[in-house]
Structure 1
């Protein structure tokens, strides 16, 4: 059965990914060098029970989103990703849909930025991958909150500090960006559902969407109000990955500044929290 091969493939590839390679802290006695189920679940944003049922062939029909998330967490090559989709009885997302595949080159770049908060978003601003320091700085998001547009209009919001003017600017930028993505990927049903939910649930989003604005403005400096280390001022740069339409968000601070010290402290606190 496809589900049996799917489970075997997930287990096989989980065993070959070390926690160090995935950016996770290593602590305690480990029976194997690979990822634990709990670690794979954390990286993929799904429950440990679901990972267990998938590996044991007791869960049928994993969604495209789940398979894509597992493929990213397991650091699969293009051919391995296609195999995993095939084992799940699915066709890998192709042209006309928002890309969600993180290339090995982008993954290696993230591996080298352990002291910098970095996250990767797709063209619809759904979080695909965040390194531990980014999660420690911004918090962890689950479900629909993983999409930045949904989160800011309908969800839990963000730790980033905003004035009324900066929030209006952010909202206009996000709507304009989502409009551009919907034009580039007209066949993507997920993007269409996201837009419909936002229009139904947020009068502000509907107003901006109906205005037809295409102007975008990138905020280059942010203050993050962190519950443990307080306010941290950072520069925020968003890099576009040619060919895959990914957005890499990178936060940096002035060297040897109080904000850099807070970020270094946060790296320790975040690691302790993950280990605990």
Structure 2
């Protein structure tokens, strides 16, 4: 049985224990409590404030798995807490058969504290889960995109989706062929580990149907992982930036952290600072 009273009580308790600084929220003005406000949690989870209120009051009784996952990440729950949240919502906690979308609190704090750099956290299937403001300024705001559009593999094979956006685009000497091949090899690696994940199967099937190049690369059967490399990003506002792009995996999970850094005081650093301050990625 779903216990909506306990669900609401725990959501309030988990919200109260988080500091605004933990999630990179400005702490200006008078705050009656140290924890997150409802509107701050709503913004982090991508839901309405009214929905958070209804959940906490027990009036919203059927949160979807997607909403529960987003709330768990926003509240920085550990795995046991996240699973308990699923159970209270009347849902089965995700098992190892599915690609994990859980982001540990330590990873979230790292992204918050490295927010001056373009940094983002992806699942094993390259769905973006978390990103810094500088990432959004450079590559566009993921929050305004559909789940399909927020996938890095989709973005790479369907650049036309963002033809009207003033966002940065990577420039490659080989036209990006090597990068696209490495993404497909990494996606096949994820598929081998999670063959029963319906979302991953649907993603691969739709990519095969919509991109002849993806379908051709998929048929090669190559398995691998995406590696760190130096990149050149062309942005319509600040021009070219050369960045070191490093990909890290999180111990005990398949999360992929992509961090882009530049030398301090370099022209590229000045351009990133400009984008971060102005939020120059205009939709």
The answer to whether the superposition gives a TM-score over 0.5 is yes
Asked whether the equivalents of residues 243 and 260 of structure 2 are also in contact (C-alpha less than 8 Å), the reply is: yes
Seen in structure 2, the aligned counterparts of structure 1 residues 68 and 266 have a Cα distance that, compared at 3 Å, is same
For 2:170, what is the secondary structure of its paired residue? coil
Q: CA shift at 1:53, angstroms?
A: 4.0
- Which among 181, 192, 208 is matched to residue 172 of structure 1? 181
Counterparts of 1:127-206 in structure 2, within 5 Å, are 127-141=128-142, 142-144=145-147, 145-154=149-158, 155-156=161-162, 159-163=168-172, 165-206=174-215
CA distance in 2 between counterparts of 1:148 and 1:171 reads: 10
Q: CA shift at 1:236, angstroms?
A: 0.5
TM (norm. structure 1) is: 0.85
- Which among 250, 264, 269 is matched to residue 273 of structure 2? 264
For 1:165, what is the secondary structure of its paired residue? coil
After the TM superposition, which of the residue ranges 166-175 and 47-56 deviates more from structure 2? 47-56
TM (norm. structure 2) is: 0.83
After the TM superposition, which of the residue ranges 242-251 and 198-207 deviates more from structure 2? 198-207
Aligned residues: 272
Seen in structure 2, the aligned counterparts of structure 1 residues 146 and 22 have a Cα distance that, compared at 3 Å, is same
Residue 207 (1) aligns with residue 216 (2): yes
- For residues 65-116 of structure 1, give each alpha carbon's deviation from its aligned partner in whole angstroms, at most 9, with x where no partner exists: 2212211111112332122111111122122221222223323433432332
Counterparts of 1:1-276 in structure 2, within 5 Å, are 1-141=2-142, 142-144=145-147, 145-154=149-158, 155-156=161-162, 159-163=168-172, 165-214=174-223, 218=227, 220-270=229-279
- For residues 196-218 of structure 1, give each alpha carbon's deviation from its aligned partner in whole angstroms, at most 9, with x where no partner exists: 22122222222221232335553
Seen in structure 2, the aligned counterparts of structure 1 residues 47 and 122 have a Cα distance that, compared at 3 Å, is same
Q: CA shift at 1:246, angstroms?
A: 1.0
CA distance in 1 between counterparts of 2:246 and 2:124 reads: 16
Seen in structure 2, the aligned counterparts of structure 1 residues 148 and 46 have a Cα distance that, compared at 3 Å, is farther
CA distance in 2 between counterparts of 1:119 and 1:58 reads: 34
After the TM superposition, which of the residue ranges 63-72 and 133-142 deviates more from structure 2? 133-142
Q: CA shift at 1:180, angstroms?
A: 0.7
For 2:227, what is the secondary structure of its paired residue? coil
Q: Which runs of 5+ in 1 are unaligned?
A: none
Asked whether the equivalents of residues 23 and 131 of structure 1 are also in contact (C-alpha less than 8 Å), the reply is: no
CA distance in 2 between counterparts of 1:260 and 1:139 reads: 18
Seen in structure 2, the aligned counterparts of structure 1 residues 4 and 231 have a Cα distance that, compared at 3 Å, is farther
Q: Which runs of 5+ in 2 are unaligned?
A: none
After the TM superposition, which of the residue ranges 170-179 and 104-113 deviates more from structure 2? 104-113
